[in-house]
């Protein structure tokens, strides 16, 4: 490994130095770079701290710059690019990053391979749903999904719930979005019609606790489910009217500890979702939690048995 220059002489930079020194073959640290004049001219563990202009004197190919500045990385990246340095070749972000969920859960990594082509959800959103489905195994009530598309997220939940004896109820027209509000929604009736009820049935045939209800929700809800409580509901409907219908039906039917997860809440492509959720919860004591994945999560505030 090339000798390195650590950009950032604050707590992130000093922590990076400690991590580098723990490596079996630690790289040579040439110096620190920091934009704070109060730090320049000092040393950290014998390594001098220079100002950013020092980099103009250093050939770009001789050192790898490790940037450890936390949320300021974007600004430092632009500054280094202005100096002719290329990201990943001459410099890279070196702050600690969270482990990928697939590394923590090999079961999930294997499942992802089976979901390719069956869902439009990104891996991080699938990871959230996978974890909630595992939590729901121990919460009273059924599981539901509105907006099944090709069955990828339904398969994910069915696999996570296997052996728990929980019914999984799936609602979809299987002919695309039924209707949309042209003032609120960016999707049109018929979008996502590239699916098949029969293919989804075959996909989920190995899971006997799965029940498919084709047609427009909530008209397709059987009378036997109207008094049912739910441990987890996944809503992936893309448009305002359907999202509001799901809020109205499921929010009052969650078991204590039950969870209601909306996909697309934070995405500009589906403004009707956020409008419906925010409208429904206006004035209520509890509100959904916005997740960095763009999903929104609401859970029944009752106690969960442990």
Tell me how far the alpha carbon of residue 265 is from its chain's centroid: 12
Contact 171, 225 (CB under 8 A): no
Fold: same for 4-93 and 101-299 = yes
CA-to-CA distance for 19 and 23, rounded, in angstroms? Answer: 7
pLDDT at 304: 44
In whole angstroms, what is the distance from residue 291 CA to residue 306 CA? 25
Q: What is the pLDDT of residue 158?
A: 98
Using one digit for the tens of pLDDT, what is the confidence trace for 66-105?
Answer: 999 999 999 999 999 999 999 999 999 999 888 899 999 9
pLDDT in tens, 247-274: 999 999 999 999 999 999 999 999 999 9
| CA 264 to each of CA 62, 82, 100, 145, 291: distance values in angstroms, whole numbers, following the listed order | 45, 36, 21, 14, 11
Q: What is the pLDDT of residue 176?
A: 85
**Contact predicate 207/158, CB 8 Å:** yes
What do you get for the CA distance between the two ends of the chain, in Å?
Answer: 49
Residue 261 three-state SS: strand
Per-residue pLDDT at 287: 92
Residue 30 parent element (H or E): strand 29-33
pLDDT at 280 over 80: yes
Looking at every residue in the chain, the average pLDDT score rounds to 94
The number of helices, as runs of H, and strands, as runs of E, in the chain is: 9, 13
Report the pLDDT value the prediction gives residue 306, as an integer from 0 to 100.
Answer: 39
pLDDT above 90 (res 111): yes
Identify the pLDDT of residue 305.
Answer: 44
Q: Give the Cα separation of 2 and 163 in Å (integer).
A: 52
How much is the pLDDT for 120?
93
CB atoms within 10 A of CB 121: 23
Fold classification of 101-299 is Rossmann fold (3.40.50)
In this structure, of 193-202, 204-213, 296-305, the range with the lowest mean pLDDT score is: 296-305
Its CATH architecture, for the domain 4-93, is 3-Layer(aba) Sandwich (3.40)
pLDDT (tens digit, 9 = 90+) per residue, 23-43?
999 999 999 999 999 999 999
Q: Domain spans of the chain? A: 4-93, 101-299
Per-residue tokens: 283? 């004035």
Helix (H), strand (E) at residue 146 = strand 142-146
pLDDT tens across 198-243, in order?
999 999 999 999 999 999 999 999 999 999 999 999 999 989 999 9
Residue owning tokens 């390719």: 116
Is the pLDDT assigned to residue 303 strictly greater than 60? Answer: no
The answer to whether 58 touches 41, Cβ cutoff 8 Å, is: no
Question: Is a pLDDT exceeding 80 seen at residue 174?
Answer: yes
């Amino acid at each position: 490994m090339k000798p390195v220059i650590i950009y950032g002489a604050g707590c992130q930079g000093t922590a990076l130095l400690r991590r580098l020194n723990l490596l079996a073959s630690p790289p040579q640290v040439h110096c620190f770079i920091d934009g704070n004049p109060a730090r320049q001219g000092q040393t950290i563990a014998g390594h001098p701290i220079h100002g950013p202009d020092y980099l103009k004197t250093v050939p770009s190919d001789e050192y790898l710059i490790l940037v450890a500045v936390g949320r300021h990385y974007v600004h430092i990246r632009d500054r280094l690019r202005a100096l002719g340095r290329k990201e990943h070749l001459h410099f890279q972000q070196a702050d600690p990053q969270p482990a990928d969920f697939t590394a923590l859960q090999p079961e999930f990594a294997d499942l992802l391979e089976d979901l390719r082509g069956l869902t439009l959800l990104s891996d991080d959103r699938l990871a959230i749903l996978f974890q909630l489905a595992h939590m729901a195994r121990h919460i009273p009530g059924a599981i539901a999904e509105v907006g099944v598309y090709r069955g990828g997220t339904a398969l994910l939940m069915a696999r996570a719930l296997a052996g728990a004896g929980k019914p999984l109820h799936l609602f979809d027209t299987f002919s695309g979005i039924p209707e949309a509000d042209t003032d609120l929604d960016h999707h049109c009736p018929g979008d996502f019609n590239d699916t098949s009820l029969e293919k989804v049935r075959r996909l989920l045939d190995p899971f006997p606790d799965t029940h498919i209800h084709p047609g427009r929700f909530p008209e397709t809800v059987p009378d036997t489910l109207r008094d049912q409580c739910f441990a987890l509901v996944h809503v992936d409907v893309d448009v305002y009217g359907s999202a509001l219908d799901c809020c109205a039906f499921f929010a009052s039917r969650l078991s204590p500890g039950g969870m209601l997860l909306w996909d697309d809440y934070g995405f500009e492509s589906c403004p009707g979702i956020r409008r419906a959720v925010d409208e429904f919860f206006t004035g209520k004591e509890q509100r959904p939690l916005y997740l960095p994945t763009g999903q929104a999560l609401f859970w029944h505030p009752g106690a969960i048995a442990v």
